[in-house]
Structure formats: structure tokens, C-alpha cells
Structure 1
Amino acid sequence: MTHASPRIVIVGAGHAGGSAAAFLRQFGHAGSIVVIGTEPHLPYQRPPLSKAYLKGVATVDSLLLRPAAYYADRDVELVTGCTVTTIDATQRLVVTDDGRRLPYDVLILATGSTARRLAVPGSELGGVHHLRDIADADALRRHMAPGHRLAIIGGGYVGLEAAASARLLGAEAVIIEREPRLLARVAAAPLAEFFAAYHRAHGVEIITGADVVRLEGRQGNVDAVILGDGRRIDCDAVLVGIGGQACDALALSAGIACDNGVVVDENARTDDPHIYAIGDMTRRPLPLDDDRRHRLESVPNAIEQARRAANSILDLPQPAHELPWFWSDQYDLKLQIAGLPFDTDAIVVRGDPAVAKFAVYHLRGGQVRAVEAVNSIPDFMGGKALIASGRQVDPARLADTTASIKALVSEVQASAQNLA
């Protein structure tokens, strides 16, 4: 640190960047803070874009993390509608597309991720959408009405949430997934089967094991998705939801170490002592998961890294590490996920998927490593406690719903105390 109140520049005005500015002021930073964002909006929440915002029950103002007065009152300079094009790590300054040269003592990169593009002929047609920001959602929302048919390429959470929003607004929806099932890379098979059945019951057509080879259109607008087996899926619009890519090009050009995301330590530090990186763009270690590095696209991750970066910059003690968690809302379903199910060797389903209230527990060596809970807050909270305990559980006991999950957690915690 060059002096007691360093000038801090934050590149990226999303959840991570906005949270970092707030934490820095909350924790006592008295120096200059500048937040630079490419969008014209104040920092806002993105998860509701595929749900409440698409359905028209949320507004831009309701998505804002904080009102404009918050930043003004705390002397946080917001530069919106502006893109950083260059980082000069030697001179410690950033250059923007409108010619500004902003010096920094500490730089926080929070540029997020961008939607992966579909590399097939016709992908440049009008009516082909992605869903990453408010402008994307505004463009897509025009097709969320009776008489429209939306083709969704990709059976991940964003695609499922958009399909649910489309059906609730009266539009037709068809999901096209390359893998043999939905959520193939991110969820257990029992959970994926449940969501597939639930969406079909709500009128969503689901096609799996399908390769998209091209998009066709009339007068410059998409009107069909063509599959590898020759099938033609007619539509009025296409949503491409095939994952995201870290926005790490700026960091790479500045010589910062990247590996499918900016490589950071547990406190969000890069290999440049004056530069931090937070949020979707980072590849970070997870001490609660055997110290592997992961790229997590989630609000909890963005907030945790923002907090840890602020603490590190201000030389404050760090809080305990947080367990990764995620959520998804579809129709009247609330899915809550805790932990990461890597290298697990057993799955336990607790509850009844037929009544849309159950949980899938992932175990390794008898230890709970992750839980996926549908409409079951007790399982989500109990699963988090079991993961944190690191203790073995009896799979049969875990599956037995005649005993509450709270009782099982108490037993495990009591056993751990007795052995301590």
C-alpha cells in the first residue's frame, strides 16, 4: 500500500464491484473510490433478469443494489457507460474508451462474465438473444407473450428460468439441450429428471441429445433452429444459454495470470500486488473443498470476494470462509444448493419429488459434500450444517423423513463434540 488512504479504482459496476465499494466505505476506507461500469445503470442485481424482471414484476429501480444517493453520500464516484480499454500496471493507471486516464494505488477488477456465443451459421440473425444484462432482458421480453414461440438453446438454470417465465406469460417454449439430460454439468440426475418432468407438465417441450447445426431466418430475423438429425424447430426468437466466459481479456493484456478466469488467492489478490479481482471473472481457491480453484458465477461468491478484498486492502482480519451456495426460482419452485458435488460416491434423496418437496444429498466417504433442496429450507440449512461438520452420516438415517433433519444435525454435532 502506498499510503494510508490509497486511491482505489474498481473496474466493473456489477454486484461484485458495487459491493466492494460499499464494503470499503463500511470498513473505514477514507480515500478516493472510483467505480467504472460499461452499462448506463447503477450497480444492480442480475439473477432476477431471467425471473422477476422478464415477467414484468421487477423494475430497473427495484434491481438496484443501492440508490444513487448512497454513492453520493459516501463520496463514491460512479462512472457509467464507460469501458476500460487498458491497464498500465507499471504506471498504475487505467485508460478508458473516452480517453480518461485514471491513476490508482489499488485496482479491483470486477468485469464479470459474458455469454458464450453459439458458433453456427445464422447466429447473427435478429431475434437471437443472450441474457446477461438489462438490455438483453428488455430485448427478450418482447417475445414473452401469447402467440410467440421461444427456442432456448441450453438446458442449464438460466434456460430453465427463462422457459418458466415464458410459460407464465403465455408464450410457448422449447428447450434444446446437447447433453442426454438437462442440467448435465451442474446437477444430480434425480434433480434434473424432476425439473424436466415439471417443465413438461407446464407445457415446455424439451429436446435432449440434440446438436444445433444452424439457425434459419426470414428478412433478417430467426424463424427456425435446425438440428443435426434434420429436425426443424420453428420459433419467433432464440435464447442462447450455453454458459458464460470470464471477462479476463483486460487482465490478460496487463500481464496478470489467468486460467479461464483471473487467478486469485483466497483473499482475491492477483499476482500483481496492487491488483485484486473478484466475482464471476475469477478462478479462486475454495479451502472448504480441498483447496481446488473454481470459477463460481453466483451472487454469494461475488459478495464474499468483495468483502475479503476490502478486508485485505484495509489490513483487517478476514472472516471464516463461506460455503458456496446458489439458488434458482422456477414456477412455484425454489431450489437452494449448498456445496459442490465433486468426487462424490453416493447420492441420497430425502423427501418426495412427487410433491415437489425434497433434497438430494451428495456424499463422499459418508460425509455430506453438497445438497440440492427443492422447496425445503430445512434441508438446505441442515445440509449446510452437515457439510460444515465434516462428520460421517448414516445414509439410511439421512433418507428417513420420519426424523427431522434438525435432529440429525444435532446428533452429528453432539457426536463431534464428544470426540473433541
Structure 2
Amino acid sequence: MKVLKFGGTSLGSSERIRNVVNIISDNEIKIVVFSAIESITNLLSDFIKQSKNENWIISEQLLEIIKEKHSTLITELISSANLKEIALKKLNKTILFISKYNYKRVKIKDEKMILSQGEILSSMIIYIYLLDIGMDAALLPSLDFLRINKSKEPDYSFIKAKLIPQIEKHRDCKLFLTQGFICRDYKNNIDHLGRGGSDYTATIIANALNSNSVEIWTDIDGLRNNDPRFVHTTKHISTLSYDDASELAYFGAKILHPASITPAQQKGIPIRIKNTFNPEHIGTLISMNNGKDLKAIASKDQITTIKVKSARMMQAYGFLRRIFEVFDTYHTSVDMLTSSEISVAMTIEDTSSLNEIVRDLSVLGDIQVEKNQSIICIVGNFSDQNFSIQNIVEGLNSIAINMISFGASKNNMTLVIDSINKSKALNLLNTYILNNEPCLTN
């Protein structure tokens, strides 16, 4: 059995959904994971925001847009009057459910319930459409089997115990549908796996079922060796290792959810990234391949650096522990770390507790905070004499490097620069490191 995942852009219109159905209509046994319809999760998030701010008129308008988008798909896709009526009734019931939160205080638990409706609606519409065209399929609600533990890690024993019997109930069925992104927590409350979490859903299911492959269907032909939004001469990456894919995903390659690599890597399950709109393209294969010839760059914005300087660090044990206890207290992860004899520099993405972190760290030393920073991650074989730290530094000789980290991984180097210089840096590295054609940097 293989697992396929289709993102929101793949489901953005009735024509696109028909295209997806053509892709999944072979005779192989598979589970297909669906995201919400394109833009629906953002609309639901905005609904929550406007409702919290008591902007009732705006929140009602957003709900009407959500209803209209799904109603249009139902009307355009489903021919049977009976099935169309069933789908519209389910849609109206969902809209009524969401609307009840429009005039009352929305709690965190309520937010997660509201956000889960996007995936529930998309999978419902596609399932009924498949019935309408005579395809045999089974809809397996992910809330019935997908659970995370206290550490927000997949509860595989629970997942297997719930999912496998559901599949076995449909012995003659070869096509199973489910929702991405949404799950339950260890208390059985509705939760989610984070934005882009449908990728993660797919690899968790693949791990639990020991699947032979995972396919992530998106709107581009796999990974590129640089960010095509800023660099015009990027190259396609056909294969790369799990570790390199993790680095690129974590540090800004938006095509893949960062956490989605681990479940597949644990079982050696290959992941192929494919383009829904160009299904014949080979895409990108992520597997045990060591990626010796890979050279690629990713970047992450909205980074804040925090530097702690204290002479008390010198030859003192436990100092770093005290620093990280502060971040642990405020549930804030550190992306990158560098240190010297008397200072430590760290980067964070989540700044919701920045003031409290700075306050607590100030007890340990002098604190310096820099906002509007970007991390650039360079992945490649640094044992290659043509791919060295010297090349990188020389290539960026006109740009100030605020932090640099190398050594924890032989295939990864990370830099921090001012965000205003990011586009120029990516283009310079494209020329000097990736050996692509020179690009304008202004």
C-alpha cells in the first residue's frame, strides 16, 4: 500500500479535483490524504480572528465565502441530485456549526475544532464525487485513528490499533480517503499537526502501515536548489537524502513540512514529491541516498537573534543549561546556536514570549536582540574542495554575516544575515556556490 497526499492548491477548483481523481484512479491499493480546499484554512483562521475582535459583519462575510466556495464545487462536480443534496446538507450543517462561534468567546479548543472543518469538508466532497462517478472508495475519518501523545509525537500504537481494523473492514476496497492536518491529542480533544501538517499525516500513516512509498502532490516539479522566488536560474533536484531534505525543509523549503521526514526515515519509506499539474514529471525522490553531489540552499525569514554575553561563562559548567531552561520555560525552540568563551548567540522564530525571555536572560548577562534577520541554510558535501566555507565567505564578501554555524553536520552550514540582504545573498551564492548562471543582485 502507498500513501498519497494532495495539498490545497491541487484541490482549488472542480477541474483540479477531476485531475486529482484521474491520478488516483489506477488499480493500486492506496490511502489518499487531503488538505483543505485552497485558501479555506486561511479563511477559517481569519474568521476566528474577526470573531475574537467582535467584527461580526466581516466574520459573517468570511463564512459566506467559505460556504460559496464549497457549494460551487458540489454543484460543478456532482451530477446525482440525491448525492448533491446529501453533500449540500453536510455543508450547511458544517457552516451552521461554525457560525455558532461567531457571537461568543472562542477558546483554543474551539479554534482547533473550527480549523478542522476545512479538511472534513474537502474529503467529504471528494468522497461523494467518487461515489457519483461510480468509483469504489472508503472514507476513514482521521479523527478516529490519528492521535498524538503528551509530547505531541505520533502515538503509533494507538494509530495502528485503530487504523488497521478500519482498513480490514473494507477488504475489497483499494481506495481509502482521509483528512490531513487534523488529529486528536492524548486527552481525545481535536488538535492539529501545524500548518502544512497534511504532509506529516501522510508519512505518519505510511509509518504505521509500513507502506512502500509516499507521494506528496503539490503545485511544482519537486525541490529546487535555490529559492525560485528570488533566484531565476534555479535547478531541479531529482534525488536527495532524508537528512538533507530535513535540513532544507526546516530552514525554509516550503514544499515539505519539516516534521514529515522522520516517520518515513524511521521505516526507510521513500518520499516522492510530484506536481499535480504536471504528473509526468519525475519530481524529487527523498530516500536513503547519501546525496553526495547535492548542493542546495534554503532560507527562513522573521528570525530574531538573542545574544548573551557574560564573563561568568568562562570555564563554568551549567551556564548553557541555565540559558536553555529559560527557553524551555516559555516553550520557545532555538533554531541555531553559536558560542565563544564569554558569549552565546541563538536564533528563534517564535517571538511571542520574547520580552519574558529577555527579562529572564538578563540575570545571566548582557543581552542584545536583533530582529528582521534571515537564516540561510547551505546543504552540500563540504569535503568537496570546490565546496568550502572559504567559497561561501568569499561569495558573500559584500554582505555582513551576523552568525555562522558549521560542524554539527558535515553536510550543512547555516548563516544569519540581515533580511534586507537575503535576495542579494541567495543570488551571490547561486553564482559562487551552486555554479549556476550569474543573476542580477540589485
TM-score (norm 2): 0.32
Question: Where is the strand percentage greater, Structure 1 or Structure 2?
Answer: 1
Question: Where is the helix percentage greater, Structure 1 or Structure 2?
Answer: 2
